[in-house]
A and B are shown apart, each in its own frame.
Chain A
């Protein structure tokens, strides 16, 4: 990305809390109009980074440039963003209309015009006609929509969402994440969302920034993050994955237990004879249409079937690597179709090209 593309540029941001380094030299460019998710476990620094962008915390070093303007040292009111918190932070004693118009009133927007804008925004977030209600008369999801309308009312250049869906119950969370994404695309506002929920990040983001221990582990599209995790942490944190101890034999050959795999393609520049770890998603182990002469087809025995509804997690001990059983996803229908039960033998095709290789030490 050329530097002109960046709507928000984060350069070398670090944050220390006493001896604890919450953020270590973070560099990141965010394009205009995209939705970027900061994803990571609690304590990874994602919220701190968001709060630094908002001016609610001060970085220990580094620079932030928004839309060509250095905002590193500007107090929050002089920056240009709207923010939505996990707690909604709606003013409980003000009506929905007064909440949404809170920022407008201060900008001396004429009353009639503000009222019109409120109508527009409430329609946008799918709650038309709720002007006179008070926040505690609304459900969590509705409150969060109002908070979103309030943040968007002043048409900010940047929208910051701090775990906006975490306080909602599961169903409402699913519904709202689609709506928020649709809304964001409709308005076209550059958006940063902090979340610890990988599914949410995968479903909503244009790009995901995976963070851990105050550093960025990987930046990429949801598919890149999922398919090509750049580190064991990312592979582990995003989605389910099988981790297999293996030995590198050179020339793209790897041995797991007593079985060798030849990995196609370059890019696996792991030293010979090193102990490594192979990361492989459960869905990259196939049970259907396995050809006998496929070099990566392996016999295995089902050790355990964990029933989860439409899908089952099936633990399979593959021949010659029995001490490292793998998890494979089966649909309930497929189990029926193939007549599989605990103890059954079956053939599995390992999609070796999907294997990700990391040093064991990593």
Chain B
């Protein structure tokens, strides 16, 4: 009684706070800088987009008038419908196809799994519109298999058929990655228990496998739908006069300067992404909770017929992918399709130089390099400050949210909101517009979340008490960061850096709103070349990007090995150093 009374009296005063050590002030300042960067380059532009959608031309509040006028315009409403059904069609095709492939990888004894899987990842190394260019060579007006297509009843590849086909190829790897992960998380004991009860294979599939992969399937479905509906490159190249939301945005904002209705379309595109983000957030916990730490991973056993069928299927998929990639590769060397099929480097030399796209290529390299360097630094330091330092407790949840938010923002929407925010003449940051700096910042923010999550995972694996021990030894946090945290996390740093580089090389959607002739990028040059009818040079540029990405990937692989050898020696047990 007396004890609680005393406590109550003592509680009358303010809650005590420790004095801040000088080195902690540095951490707080850095965290504040990173938080502010995310506010200025993510939150503020997005807010402008929201505001713009309810503003009239004169900047006055008009409520939902822009939305009404949008839906009253028949052509725009048609685009919305087009976007929806095309995205749904692609999703319906990709999810089962990717599921079977993922099932083959996770649950069969198919040979050469590694090779097959690696090939399916190749599309990630090139801009998504590579598949559209390739399809034009296969089925376009001068296409190799145009007659076959028309015999099948499709009159022209330009429009919905082309978009659907090209999107299927470009989003397949994304869906596959999610589904392989989902199918790999399984408890062999469930299957053993089912076997002990004499369960049929079909029943096991429907009662164990499918429920186990449920969350992965939902996640893959939503991600696929979102990727397709927000993709700009493919409909631009192969869409013909088939309008979708993504191309509408560009036309409205860049072509007609109709910022208000552009903002409306931006919000429409934001909706599925935000929904995916929210659903994913809730599913992730369940997916993880589903598998206890005592689960025994499932190891497939050879089943000749099943394995053979799976191999045949996967081989077919991979061949189709190679056909798409290979056609772009081949066509980039053909002198004048289809009249002069002799091989030449003309598209790589004169074609690219003539269009002054060599500049674009070096811009892209610079952008990718800057993102890989500064993006990695910002992401990792941000994650470190969030996970491992103390104080400024009000700021932490805000920065955490800002770091996860980019996942919910499609590149197209991000680029759009950058225009609204930075083009505004009153914005002191206005001079940034059209510079490489803003392209770098936009790209870093666009791909921030994946890097952030990688860094957080790596940091969480470290003992939580390193910082406490350092403080007790009076060593400032940055020394421990430099001597301990950073060396241990170098493999994660390499991963993050590679992710930034590849994505900066291949991205179109955000930066397409922000470049100037001086800061044009390689991936955007493909669009321009295609528009100018220089499809051979466009293919060459796409191949150049893919080749660069491949080389960079190999470089990162080597770098990873080197880093492993030089900084991870302590992981090896005694005697093997």
Check: A131 CB closer than 8 A to any chain B CB.
no
A14, A60, A93, A150: the one contacting B570 at CB < 8 Å is: A93
Q: Are B10 and A102 in contact (CB under 8 A)?
A: no
Check: A229 CB closer than 8 A to any chain B CB.
no
Q: Are B472 and A62 in contact (CB under 8 A)?
A: no
B15, B18, B465: the one contacting A60 at CB < 8 Å is: B15
Minimal Cβ-Cβ distance residue in A for B12: A61
Pick the most buried of A61, A72, A134, A150: most chain B CB atoms within 10 A of its CB.
A61
A61 cross-chain contacts in B, Cβ below 8 A: 7, 10-11, 13, 15-16
User: In the complex the two chains form, what is the Cα distance from A73 to B16 in whole Å?
Assistant: 7
Q: Are A93 and B484 in contact (CB under 8 A)?
A: yes
Contact with B along A299-337 (1 / 0, CB 8 A): 000000000000000000000000000000000000000
The interface size bin for chain B is 35 or more
Known contacts A25-B6, A75-B19; is-contact A102 B475 (Cβ 8 Å): yes
User: In the complex the two chains form, what is the Cα distance from A58 to B16 in whole Å?
Assistant: 7
A93 cross-chain contacts in B, Cβ below 8 A: 484, 487-488, 567-568, 570
Q: Are B472 and A151 in contact (CB under 8 A)?
A: yes
Known contacts A54-B472, A91-B466; is-contact A136 B484 (Cβ 8 Å): no
B6 cross-chain contacts in A, Cβ below 8 A: 12, 25
B57 cross-chain contacts in A, Cβ below 8 A: none
Q: Are A24 and B4 in contact (CB under 8 A)?
A: yes
Known contacts A87-B463, A89-B469; is-contact A74 B18 (Cβ 8 Å): yes
Q: Are A103 and B484 in contact (CB under 8 A)?
A: no
A62, A106, A107: the one contacting B479 at CB < 8 Å is: A106
Check: B24 CB closer than 8 A to any chain A CB.
yes
User: In the complex the two chains form, what is the Cα distance from A91 to B21 in whole Å?
Assistant: 23
Shortest CB distance A102–B (Å): 6
Known contacts A25-B7, A92-B570, A137-B573; is-contact A106 B474 (Cβ 8 Å): yes
Shortest CB distance A72–B (Å): 7
Q: Are A54 and B468 in contact (CB under 8 A)?
A: yes
User: In the complex the two chains form, what is the Cα distance from A81 to B471 in whole Å?
Assistant: 10
Known contacts A54-B472, A55-B18, A150-B473; is-contact A87 B465 (Cβ 8 Å): yes
Q: Are B466 and A75 in contact (CB under 8 A)?
A: no
Check: A2 CB closer than 8 A to any chain B CB.
no
B574 cross-chain contacts in A, Cβ below 8 A: 133, 137
Q: Are A89 and B468 in contact (CB under 8 A)?
A: yes
Check: A141 CB closer than 8 A to any chain B CB.
no
Shortest CB distance A98–B (Å): 8
Shortest CB distance A146–B (Å): 12
User: In the complex the two chains form, what is the Cα distance from A81 to B474 in whole Å?
Assistant: 10
Minimal Cβ-Cβ distance residue in B for A61: B10
Q: Are B471 and A75 in contact (CB under 8 A)?
A: yes
Shortest CB distance A218–B (Å): 15
User: In the complex the two chains form, what is the Cα distance from A24 to B473 in whole Å?
Assistant: 30
B20, B468, B476, B487: the one contacting A83 at CB < 8 Å is: B468
Q: Are A12 and B10 in contact (CB under 8 A)?
A: yes
CB contacts under 8 Å to A, within B517-573, are: 567-571, 573
B472 cross-chain contacts in A, Cβ below 8 A: 54, 76-77, 79, 81-83, 103, 151, 156, 160
CB contacts under 8 Å to B, within A63-108, are: 72-79, 81-83, 85, 87-89, 91-94, 102-103, 106-107
User: In the complex the two chains form, what is the Cα distance from A249 to B569 in whole Å?
Assistant: 74
User: In the complex the two chains form, what is the Cα distance from A181 to B547 in whole Å?
Assistant: 64
Check: B203 CB closer than 8 A to any chain A CB.
no
B488 cross-chain contacts in A, Cβ below 8 A: 92-93
Known contacts A14-B7, A92-B488; is-contact A106 B468 (Cβ 8 Å): no
B10, B20, B465: the one contacting A14 at CB < 8 Å is: B10
Q: Count the A residues whose beta carbon is within 8 Å of the partner chain — how many?
A: 49
Q: Are B474 and A12 in contact (CB under 8 A)?
A: no
User: In the complex the two chains form, what is the Cα distance from A82 to B480 in whole Å?
Assistant: 16
Shortest CB distance B148–A (Å): 60
Contact with A along B448-480 (1 / 0, CB 8 A): 000000000000000111101111111110011
User: In the complex the two chains form, what is the Cα distance from A156 to B552 in whole Å?
Assistant: 50
User: In the complex the two chains form, what is the Cα distance from A79 to B469 in whole Å?
Assistant: 12
A62 cross-chain contacts in B, Cβ below 8 A: 10
Minimal Cβ-Cβ distance residue in B for A215: B3
Minimal Cβ-Cβ distance residue in B for A92: B570
Check: B17 CB closer than 8 A to any chain A CB.
yes
User: In the complex the two chains form, what is the Cα distance from A153 to B469 in whole Å?
Assistant: 12
B471 cross-chain contacts in A, Cβ below 8 A: 55-56, 75-77
Minimal Cβ-Cβ distance residue in B for A77: B474
Q: Are B17 and A73 in contact (CB under 8 A)?
A: yes
Check: B294 CB closer than 8 A to any chain A CB.
no
Check: B301 CB closer than 8 A to any chain A CB.
no
Check: A154 CB closer than 8 A to any chain B CB.
yes
Check: A135 CB closer than 8 A to any chain B CB.
yes
Check: A59 CB closer than 8 A to any chain B CB.
yes
Q: Are A89 and B11 in contact (CB under 8 A)?
A: no
Q: Are A85 and B469 in contact (CB under 8 A)?
A: yes
Shortest CB distance B469–A (Å): 5
The 8 A-B residue pairs whose C-beta atoms are closest, nearest first, are: A103-B473, A76-B471, A61-B10, A89-B465, A75-B21, A137-B574, A134-B570, A25-B3
Q: Could you list 11 examples of A-B contacts with CB < 8 Å?
A: A25-B6, A25-B7, A76-B468, A76-B471, A82-B472, A92-B571, A102-B470, A103-B474, A106-B475, A106-B479, A156-B472
Q: Which residues of A approach B to under 8 Å, CB–CB? A: 12, 14, 16, 21, 24-25, 54-56, 58-62, 72-79, 81-83, 85, 87-89, 91-94, 102-103, 106-107, 133-137, 150-151, 153-154, 156, 160, 215
Given A61-B10, A77-B23, A85-B468: 12 more A-B contacts, CB < 8 Å: A25-B7, A74-B19, A76-B472, A82-B473, A83-B468, A87-B463, A89-B465, A91-B483, A102-B475, A103-B474, A137-B573, A153-B473
